[in-house]
Each structure stands twice: as C-alpha cells, then as structure tokens.
Amino acid sequence: MKSPRFLLLLALLSLSSVAFAQSAANPAPSDAQKSFDQLKTLAGIWTGPVTVDPPQPDWTKEPLWLSMRVTSRGNALVHEMKKPGTPDDPSKDDPITLLYIDNDRLTLTHYCDAGNRPRMIAKASPDGKTVEFEFADVAGSTQYGHMHHAIFTMIDANHHTEDWTFMLPGDKHLQAHMDLQRAK
C-alpha cells in the first residue's frame, strides 16, 4: 500500500505536467499578437476628415475613405487609403499598407505612392488602445520622401484615429491626422 504522501505527490506531479502541456500548446499571446488582434477589430470601411500640417494646397477638405481587411487566414491586415470618388485606377493615389506578425514583431510595410516601401515596427501602449509604429528601414528610392511613423488609436468600436508622418526631402516632416468613423 502506498503512503498518502506519495499519492499526493504523484497527483501534484500529474496536474503540473497537464498544466505545463496545456500552456506549451496554448502559450499566452505576445504583446505584438495582442496589438495585431486589436488592429484586426478595425476591419471595415472608415471615413473622416484629414488634417495636414503644414497645410498642403492640393489637399481638399473632402473626407478620406479607408478600407481595412483581414486576409491570409487572419495573418495579415490590408489598409487602403483613397479619396472619395477616386476611380480604381493604378495611376491614382491609392497607398496600400500591410500589417503582419514577423518573428514576434508587429510589422507594417507601406506601399507608398512615392514609389518606395518603408517598414515600421510596432510598440503598444500600456492601455492597449494605441499602437505606434517606428521606422525600421525603406526599400526603393526616397527621392520624393517616405512614410516614417504611424500611430493608430482605438477610441471605440466605431471610432479611431490615425497619425502618419511623411519625411520630405531635406528631413522636413508632413503630419497627417485622420479622425475616422466606421461607415460599414
């Protein structure tokens, strides 16, 4: 007959190995994954005004239209910006941004109308409502400038803001703030 002490030890070892196996099979999501999951809740159509600093003569007061779509079996988020009424024409201004997890880092690649592809890496805020992307590198020519920084702030399920910084030639910054409401 086994002692109660031995049986208790055996039971505890069995429970701990089950708990370890479950935690290994379902590890806690990383900060990058939590931020990505939060951003994926923005899937849909958004519209709202854009404020640009310094003001640009070719920017109108028309609201911006923005589409966000989860794709690739949930592994990527496609972000597309365009002005309302712009036809689906590759010669028009339709920058595309792809967000994805790369080696446990939330990464953003912006396919810019300036002809380059800046890549940025995310850092989340402690409250989980803001995801800030810092410049990592850029592929392609920076002759006309490049996107350099982005911040997504989730206000509620139907309202978020985006702040984008474009680095102009000569290290001058152009700031764009978008206050977006869910349209669909």
Residue 86 pLDDT more than 80?
no
The mean per-residue pLDDT over the stretch 40-65 comes to: 87
The mean per-residue pLDDT over the stretch 167-174 comes to: 92
Residue 4: the pLDDT is: 56
Query: Quick one: which of 125, 133, 91 has its CA closest to 109?
Result: 133
What digits encode the pLDDT tens for the residues 104-120? Answer: 999 999 999 889 999 99
* Pairing verdict, β 146-156 and 130-140: antiparallel
Greater model confidence, 70 or 89: 70
The mean per-residue pLDDT over the stretch 125-148 comes to: 93
Q: CATH assignment of 30-182, given 3.40.50.2300, 2.40.128.20, 3.40.50.1220, 2.70.98.10?
A: 2.40.128.20
**This prediction's pTM:** 0.81
Greater model confidence, 170 or 2: 170
Q: Which amino acid is at 67?
A: S
Q: What is the CA radius of gyration of the chain?
A: 22
Per-domain residue ranges of the chain? 30-182
Residue 91: the pLDDT is: 65
Residue 64: the pLDDT is: 87
Residue 115, C-beta contacts closer than 8 angstroms, at least 6 positions apart = 140, 141, 143, 144
Which phi and psi (to 5°) does residue 88 adopt?
-75, 90
Q: How confident is the model at residue 20 (pLDDT cuts 50, 70, 90)?
A: very low
